Amino acid sequence: MTKFLTGAAVGALLIGAASAASAESACLITKTDTNPFFVKMKEGATAKAAEMGIELKSYAGKIDGDSESQVAAIETCIADGAKGILLTASDTKGIVPAVQKAREAGLLVIALDTPLDPIDAADATFATDNFLAGELIGQWAKAALGDAAADAKIAMLDLDVSQPTVGVLRDQGFLQGFGIDLGDPNKWGDETDPRVVGHDVTQGNQEGGRRAMESLLAKDPFINVVYTIN
């Protein structure tokens, strides 16, 4: 599915910025180049680009949350004369000025997986309904616990302190699905339900997840539900 959606986005990128006079070039900018999800995304984009005769240049942050490297990649894409950019943003608000600069320079920008904030900062978005995905998992977790859900102890392992849209949507969807009243649905961490032990961030990697889980277990050793961004 990841390869299919990314391939479709590459096709849309070419159609939206086609120029018969010269060979096309495009950029793929992902959060990292180690997460299996983004590895598959790159594979799908590379295959579709080769099929359509597009020169695809790939860039990634050093770690999940490395927005500075993504901004630098956008600058490089502009300077290289790329026709467009496929972007999975780490900081969905902070990267908007760089995206605006790219669009003003004539590049088509398509957000993948993670909508920008605001969503119309990109020309288009190809993404899962992340709120619904979280909500369905929350409903499943509540059903799996049965009556014990009323006294659950929930650890929330989120992505990054910048609260990118994909993280907020999945987090809030999960809590709503579990039956937790939301505060502001546009951010996580303001819930008052005592079943939520707390939130911590993982940077989308194993070491970050281990550290975050240890921190929350120190806060409450009786945690019996763990939500993770991935």
Confidence at residue 21, expressed as pLDDT on a 0 to 100 scale? 36
Q: pLDDT tens across 71-117, in order?
A: 999 999 999 999 999 999 999 999 999 999 999 999 999 999 899 99
On whether both 77 and 100 belong to a single domain, the answer is: yes
Least confident of 21-30, 35-44, 132-141, 146-155: 21-30
Query: What CATH number is associated with residue 150?
Result: 3.40.50.2300
On whether both 135 and 222 belong to a single domain, the answer is: yes
Provide the b/e sequence for 142-175 (b: ≥16 CB within 10 Å). beeeeeebeebbbbbbbbbebbbbbbbbbbbbbb
On whether both 55 and 148 belong to a single domain, the answer is: no
On whether both 195 and 151 belong to a single domain, the answer is: yes
Please say whether the beta carbons of 142 and 174 come within 8 A: no
Mean pLDDT value of segment 207-220: 96
How long is the chain? Answer: 230
Confidence at residue 17, expressed as pLDDT on a 0 to 100 scale? 47
On whether both 14 and 120 belong to a single domain, the answer is: yes
Confidence at residue 2, expressed as pLDDT on a 0 to 100 scale? 46
Of the pLDDT bands very low, low, confident and very high (cuts 50, 70, 90), residue 10 is low
Q: Which domain holds residue 17?
A: 2-126
On whether both 100 and 21 belong to a single domain, the answer is: yes
Of the pLDDT bands very low, low, confident and very high (cuts 50, 70, 90), residue 61 is very high
Average pLDDT, the chain: 90
